[in-house]
Amino acid sequence: MSGTTMAEYEAALKIHLKIKSLDDDDLWEGFDWDETDKILSGEIKPKTLITTYLFGYTRQKPQKGTLIAEEMLSVFPNSKYMNRRRNSELGQVIKFAKKKGFTSLILAHTNNLGNDEIRIINLLNGASASFIFIELVPRIDIPNCAKPPSRRYPRLHVRGFDSPASVGTARMIQSLFPKVPHSRRPSRLRSIAWLEQQRNHVFFRHHRLCSEEVIGGERSSVSTQPQECGPRFTLKLMGVDRVSLDTGNMKLIGAADPDGG
């Protein structure tokens, strides 16, 4: 505490105590989810703008923001990539996105520690979640990678988000997918996206059903097997912020434990 007065130390401590743990039940309280819930119910179709951070250069690791953005385009339906200008502030990007009717904004980059990262900003209520990629396998690196059915939204399966905090995290990601009516029978005309949480990690997989001819003796039959569409990735939530939809300024709500919790 050298060089710091007791009053300054206590003030800093009070500020620190306002930062929630990412496991707090009330992590996502204070955000208005009414419009977002209309996406989940199918009343509103989501539209996502994907771009990169303004400053994301690191000498230690190659910058992969554009690659990440391209992979995310294949994940989230109704998404569009925008090449961000060097002098464009976040507030300007948000205003542009809202004017064009986008409901979410995704920023991608490789941070100064060399971690690949995305930030999802809900343009309906200002909620923001930042994630690092624990693993990211691009489609080109997946053997026999299948192409998702065109003009068909994937059916999203979500599981493992049981706590109030994780439900909010799932809601942020679910709001990037259009609502697809439930069906008991899987269809070759529609792919399936899997979103599962285990031990504070979010796993994403994407498959479609493909038919192949099976020859046995004098007879042949058609077998339907799941085939991965990619990309394959694992995310870890690092922070939750409130973003001003007018200025782009952020206020930290919750952060991961710096010791790895």
Question: Comparing C-alpha atoms, which of 172, 55, 194, 164 is closest to residue 120?
Answer: 172
Distance, CA of 136 to CA of 146 (rounded, Å): 17
Q: Is residue 143 part of a domain?
A: yes
Higher-pLDDT residue of 9, 50: 50
Give the total number of structural domains in the chain: 1
Structural domain range at position 130: 6-255
Q: What is the pLDDT of residues 239-257, one digit of tens each?
A: 999 999 999 999 999 998 7
Backbone angles phi, psi at 15, to 5 degrees: -65, -45
Residue 260 lies in a domain: no
Residue 188 placed within a domain: yes
Distance of alpha carbon 48 from its chain centroid, rounded?
Answer: 11
Min mean pLDDT across 37-46, 54-63, 78-87, 167-176 is at: 54-63
Q: What is the pLDDT of residue 95?
A: 97
Q: Does residue 1 lie within any of the structural domains? A: no
Q: pLDDT for 120-157, tens place per residue?
A: 999 999 999 999 999 999 999 999 898 887 778 999 99
How far apart are alpha carbons 171 and 258 in whole angstroms?
25
Instruction: Let me know if residue 261 belongs to a domain.
Output: no
Which pair of structure tokens corresponds to residue 164? 């109030």
Residue 87 lies in a domain: yes
3-class SS at 147?
Answer: coil
pLDDT for 60 equals 61
Is 19 inside any structural domain?
Answer: yes
Q: Compute the distance between CA of residue 65 and CA of residue 45 in angstroms, rounded to an integer.
A: 26
The dihedrals phi and psi of 108, each to the nearest 5 degrees, come to: -130, 145
How many angstroms separate the most distant Cα atoms in the chain? 88
pTM: predicted TM-score of the whole model, two decimal places: 0.86
* Under 8 Å between Cβ of 88 and 137: no
Question: What CATH number should be reported for the domain holding residue 127?
Answer: 3.40.50.10480
Give the pLDDT mean for 162-176.
Answer: 96
Question: Would you say residue 77 lies in a domain?
Answer: yes
